[in-house]
Structure 1
Amino acid sequence: MSLTFYWYPKCSTCRNAKKLLEEHDIKFEEVHIVEQNPSREVLADLYQKSGLELKKFFNTSGQKYRELGLKDKMKTSTDDELLDILATDGMLVKRPLLTDGTKVTVGFNEQMYKDHWLA
């Protein structure tokens, strides 16, 4: 299983997720989500495979989210419009994102990682 781990190194949640994966000898490719923001196509693919609502992919606690007034835009924008916005800046993306190409998790919860990636 080849994993891709989209993260922001300054994010403590991302560091905790990475530490858990490393403690269990899980191999993964790291992608710095700000330096290598996922493309719209990649984000659309992750969204489709996740089974989650698109709003779960947004870092709603981030400064950029507030600056752009995305709380209100979330209510009226289409998925296509939201994916376009999400692809503009890695700081808008909730992290970490972890995928094996077929399943996707967004954010970090230790039990979720144990259930999805360590089982």
Structure 2
Amino acid sequence: MKYAEFNIESNKIEFLNSFFGVESVLLNGKIISKKFSFSGIKHKVKLKYSDLTLESNYKQFDKKEIILELKNNEELLDKRIVKTDKKQRFYWMLIGMILGFGINKILDFLL
């Protein structure tokens, strides 16, 4: 799911996040970074004249939002705060419940 778009030096930088926590950063439509993140991570974005960093910070237990900061040498260029998709929160809760139930059954069997 696409969460944000930044336009820098006539380049389009897009931030996407899947239901399972895989973050993707696209530069002019091409994937340049793809990482798994539970609470946020840094992505490097190399432009012709700049080396940028796109930082994500996922507040899943607080305000249920993703804070995106685009920086050039630690100088903030742009900041976006986007709400997470309700479906994504539901899937993570469902996965957590299934894992908790499964771990409980395994521990009951072992003990």
Q: Same fold (TM over 0.5)?
A: no
User: Hey, which of these two has a bigger chunk of strand by percent?
Assistant: 2
**Larger RCO of the pair (alpha carbons < 8 Å, separation 6+):** 1
- What is the TM-score with the length of structure 1 in the denominator? 0.24
Greater CA radius of gyration, 1 or 2?
2
Q: TM-score, normalised by structure 2?
A: 0.25
